[in-house]
């Protein structure tokens, strides 16, 4: 599962079981627990999900257990990739590392974190020759990046090559 911040071309991933809404909710709950309520409310006030079965329980995450709504969930229009075009564009980088024809069964969260560290360290001309990593660091702080295990890769060491 990928989580995107279109304004920054930033993306990271959480390892989930395919077609498992319970796995998605568990992964996101763990992420939110790691971040704490203040960061969650600041970084994730609105969430746009696609209509895959994996997200069919995502709305349950809107309530923090106290009856207060702390995030809002919206779903894309079925078969309309334009609803989340920036995220789809960013997925091109993921496909450099994880080609569609290859099995994802051997992936670990560590491999995913490393892949997104490289992707987010790739300079984007559309962002004034800045990296998504640096843009998110300036907006949300290094603590957030540390909590999601995304590190800055030096420019000359960035690799967008097949991992599987």
Of 15 and 76, more confident? 15
Query: Can you tell me the distance from the alpha carbon of 32 to that of 37, in angstroms, rounded to the nearest whole number?
Result: 7
Q: CATH topology for 2-157?
A: Nucleotidyltransferase; domain 5 (3.30.420)
Q: pTM of the prediction?
A: 0.88
> Residue 131: how many CA atoms within 13 Å on its side-chain side?
18
> Cα separations (Å) of 104 from 6, 49, 61, 68?
25, 21, 27, 37
**Of residues 76, 41, 84, the one with CA closest to residue 62:** 41
pLDDT at 9 over 90: yes
**pLDDT digit string, tens, across residues 98-120:** 988 888 888 999 999 999 999 99
Q: How confident is the model at residue 145 (pLDDT cuts 50, 70, 90)?
A: very high
Residue 69: is its pLDDT beyond 60?
A: no
8 Å CB contact between 147 and 36: no
Q: Do the bridges between strand 10-13 and strand 2-5 make them parallel or antiparallel, or are there none, so unpaired?
A: antiparallel
Q: What is the pLDDT of residue 125?
A: 93
Is the pLDDT reported for residue 137 higher than 60?
yes
Domain ranges of the chain: 2-157
pLDDT given for residue 133 in this prediction: 98
Q: Which residue has the higher pLDDT, 83 or 26?
A: 26
Label residue 30 by pLDDT band (50, 70, 90).
Answer: very high
């Amino acid at each position: 599962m990928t989580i995107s911040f279109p304004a920054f071309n930033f993306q990271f991933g959480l390892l989930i079981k395919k077609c498992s809404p319970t796995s998605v909710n568990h992964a996101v709950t763990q992420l939110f627990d790691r971040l704490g309520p203040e960061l969650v409310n600041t970084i994730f006030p609105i969430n746009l999900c696609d209509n895959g079965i994996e997200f069919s329980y995502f709305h349950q995450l809107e309530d923090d257990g106290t009856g207060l709504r702390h995030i809002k969930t919206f779903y894309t229009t079925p078969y309309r990739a334009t609803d989340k075009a920036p995220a789809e564009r960013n997925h091109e980088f993921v496909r450099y590392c994880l080609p569609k024809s290859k099995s994802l069964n051997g992936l670990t969260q560590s491999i995913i974190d490393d892949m997104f560290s490289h992707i987010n360290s790739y300079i984007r001309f559309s962002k004034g020759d800045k990296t998504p990593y640096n843009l998110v660091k300036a907006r949300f702080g290094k603590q957030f990046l540390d909590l999601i295990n995304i590190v800055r890769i030096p420019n000359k060491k960035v690799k967008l090559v097949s991992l599987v």
